[in-house]
Amino acid sequence: MTGWADEGLLATIEQTPVMLLERSVLADNVARMAAATTTAGVALRPHAKTHKLPQVARMQVAAGAVGIQVATLHEAEVFADAGVNDILVGFPIVGTVGIRRLVALAGRCRISVSLDAMEVARPIAAAARSASVDLAMRLEIDTGLMRVGVQPDAALAMATQLAALRGITFAGVMTHEGQLYGQARDRATLAATTADIAARMVTVAERIRAAGIDCPSVSIGSSATAAAGMRAAGITEVRPGTYVFNDGTQLGQGSATLDQIATVVVATVISRPDDERAVIDAGSKVLAADRLIVPDPPATFGTLPGLPGHRLTRISEEHGVVSLPAGSQLGIGDRVVIVPNHICPAVNLADELLVVANGRVVDRWPVAARGHR
């Protein structure tokens, strides 16, 4: 039984809602992914936006990760302060202030940045030249998410321009295949679609290399696709994030089991208006507002392990409404354990995580890199 499910532990929590982190499950998740990538012969660069915790980043690097990816400059600064010395800022940096902060980071540790436009690349390269710092750029490829990234057929032209820029190093190509969460409904389809995306990325890299441009990194990123992606010939790096904690989406996708859930929210029943519903003290300001899209509807706002037939069907800012099965004994004052659908924004909403070991709270870890600035 996972430690956070212990009724004795839940009874010791003075106030809810609160987020718990089971230390042994965290350690197992870190070790499992590190071992898998080592066996596959690919680099592991975890996306630290999931946990935002220097303690976890240090564990990942100690286990063999080459560095981390972050989504914001604030995250990069926090992790650089914590001693992480290889950081990919996986977000185009636009504007004088942001570029200044990026260049300052490049003076402290190995920094790379992803982008998809020369209008982004040129001012960064100019600032790096002026500051005499080493800064690497990765070209993001759109493999179906339709967010940022150039189309595969346009990658060679863009890579050629990037490689010609003075002041930066062209470090390779990357993609985020996040669209597969909503498209692949079984593990076989997920693996096949991941293999197709990996093959497209490798083809892009081969075209760039054939033009005489070094393309050292061919990187894909998603916890759900990591297992299939790391086995694809020509992929050099995977960038999973959610695996470190796991969440309801990973459960639905089949990428994790309940015993691999490291982080949960504990809430309290505050109202039992009728036989069909109970209300808890955790809403969108705790769980985030992501609806569970895998498996197929009915969509819920969190998984309730240990409460079969109970579904978290509605949330507002402070309240969560649980639809009850006939005969439910859930009552006011009872504690409810919730696996968030999407752990990344849920962690970003927490001030701290209570660290659990051997059935008791042993530490409190402030979410040091939360926020967006």
Cα gap 150→142, rounded to integer Å: 5
- How do 320-323 and 277-280 pair as beta strands? antiparallel
Instruction: Write out pLDDT tens, residues 213-239.
Output: 999 999 998 888 899 999 999 999 999
**Mean pLDDT within 257-269:** 97
The pLDDT of residue 184: 65
Residue range 3-20+256-366, CATH number: 2.40.37.20
Instruction: Write out pLDDT tens, residues 177-208.
Output: 877 776 766 788 888 899 999 999 999 999 99
Cis bond before residue 123 (omega within 30° of 0): no
Instruction: Write out pLDDT tens, residues 127-153.
Output: 999 999 999 999 999 999 899 999 999
Cα gap 254→269, rounded to integer Å: 29
Q: State the architecture of 23-243 in CATH terms.
A: Alpha-Beta Barrel (3.20)
The pLDDT of residue 226: 92
Domain residue limits, the chain: 3-20+256-366, 23-243
DSSP string, 224-279: TTHHHHTTSTT--EE---GGGT--HHHHHHTS--GGG--EEEEEEEEEEEETTEEE
Q: How confident is the model at residue 1 (pLDDT cuts 50, 70, 90)?
A: very low
